[in-house]
């Protein structure tokens, strides 16, 4: 019975992706425009554009919508697989807890190690190595979150008290994430890029992902609650 969860995830992901695209358009794109103007000023003129900025801004919604459908579908499949093992008894709480866990593993922890940079920052020759390091961090962060969930579940089954269980799992996550931060390559130096603009861009990127994963968890949870009420007793 994965198909209903897949459809629900894709629908929730599309809506969350469009909301995230709107946030990125209103909050993030002005900082991208500033970064491009700085690059053009330092280069002494306008570089050749494959796509105009207007086309890129319109394409932003297509990209976030497509990402939302894809990520939402994967989320729906994961939810179907883990639904019976999640501690909460309601579709709403299960959805929010799973969305929060995926947000932490797929974005937040990697973001702390490798914060987002505007397109004009970084050496183009190192983009392959930087991309590989980032996705390695994403994969390992998700494994840490999965291991933490499994450990918490096992401790709960053994009737370990909540404070002991939560502190133990939390310390384990901190140690594991710290080891990843030390083992993987350092984030690239942004050079002389204005620090205020850099952090404004990074915060807008964080906000975009927060809007997406919050929207996905909320919409998926609401659809799940609606489906559970329709289900015959």
Over residues 29-55, the pLDDT tens digits come to 888 888 777 776 766 655 555 557 678
* Co-location of 109 and 151 in the same domain: no
Residue 100 CB burial class (10 angstroms; 0-12, 13-18, ≥19): middle
Range of the domain at 180: 122-189
Distance of CA 44 to the CA centre of its chain: 36
* Co-location of 132 and 60 in the same domain: no
* Co-location of 183 and 209 in the same domain: no
- Answer yes or no: are the C-beta atoms of 219 and 99 closer than 8 Å: no
| 140-161 residue pLDDT tens | 999 999 999 999 989 988 888 8
* Co-location of 131 and 108 in the same domain: no
The count of structural domains within the chain is 2
* Co-location of 3 and 18 in the same domain: yes
- Answer yes or no: are the C-beta atoms of 141 and 110 closer than 8 Å: yes
| 62-80 residue pLDDT tens | 999 999 999 999 999 999 9
Report CA dihedral (140, 70, 60, 196) to the nearest 10 degrees: -20
- As a whole number of angstroms, the distance between CA 109 and CA 181 comes to 10
List the one residue out of 77, 59, 56 whose CA is nearest residue 13. Answer: 77
* Region for residue 159 given its phi and psi (left: phi exceeds 0; alpha: psi -120 to 50; beta: otherwise): left
- Answer yes or no: are the C-beta atoms of 107 and 67 closer than 8 Å: no
* Co-location of 201 and 183 in the same domain: no
- Answer yes or no: are the C-beta atoms of 50 and 132 closer than 8 Å: no
Place 16 in a pLDDT band, splitting at 50, 70 and 90. Answer: very high
Q: Which two tokens stand for residue 13?
A: 């992901």
* Co-location of 142 and 219 in the same domain: no
Side-chain half-sphere of 203: how many Cα atoms within 13 Å?
A: 9
CA distances to 90, 96, 126, 143 from 84, in Å:
11, 15, 43, 20
Task: Tell me the range of 126-130, 189-193, 196-200 where mean pLDDT is highest.
Answer: 196-200
Q: What are the start-end ranges of the E strands in 77-162?
A: none
pTM for this one? 0.86
* Co-location of 159 and 63 in the same domain: no
Query: Cα 173–209–145 angle (5° rounding)?
Result: 20
* Co-location of 151 and 200 in the same domain: no
* Co-location of 178 and 232 in the same domain: no
* Co-location of 102 and 209 in the same domain: yes
**Contact partners, residue 73, CB within 8 Å, separation at least 6:** 6, 9, 10, 13
Q: Which two tokens stand for residue 173?
A: 């996550």
* Co-location of 145 and 184 in the same domain: yes
Based on its alpha-carbon atoms, the radius of gyration of the chain, rounded to whole angstroms, reads 20
Place 213 in a pLDDT band, splitting at 50, 70 and 90. Answer: very high
């Amino acid at each position: 019975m994965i198909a209903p969860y897949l459809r629900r995830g894709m629908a929730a992901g599309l809506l969350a992706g469009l909301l995230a695209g709107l946030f990125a358009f209103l909050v993030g794109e002005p900082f991208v425009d500033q970064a491009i103007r700085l690059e053009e000023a330092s280069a002494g003129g306008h570089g050749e554009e494959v796509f105009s900025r207007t086309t890129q801004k319109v394409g932003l919604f297509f990209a976030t919508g497509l990402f939302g459908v894809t990520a939402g579908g994967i989320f729906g499949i994961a939810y179907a697989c883990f639904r019976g093992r999640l501690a909460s008894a309601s579709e709403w709480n299960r959805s929010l807890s799973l969305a929060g866990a995926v947000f932490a593993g797929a974005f937040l922890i990697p973001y702390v190690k490798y914060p987002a940079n505007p397109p004009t920052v970084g050496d183009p020759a190192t983009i392959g190595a930087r991309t590989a390091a980032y996705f390695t961090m994403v994969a390992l962060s998700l494994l840490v979150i999965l291991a933490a969930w499994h450990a918490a579940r096992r401790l709960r089954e053994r009737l370990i008290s909540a404070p002991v269980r939560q502190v133990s799992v939390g310390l384990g996550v901190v140690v594991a994430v710290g080891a990843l931060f030390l083992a993987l390559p350092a984030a690239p130096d942004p050079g002389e890029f204005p620090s205020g603009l850099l952090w404004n861009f990074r915060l807008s990127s964080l906000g975009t992902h927060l809007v997406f994963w919050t929207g996905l968890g909320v919409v998926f949870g609401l659809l799940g609650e609606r489906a559970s009420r329709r289900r015959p007793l």
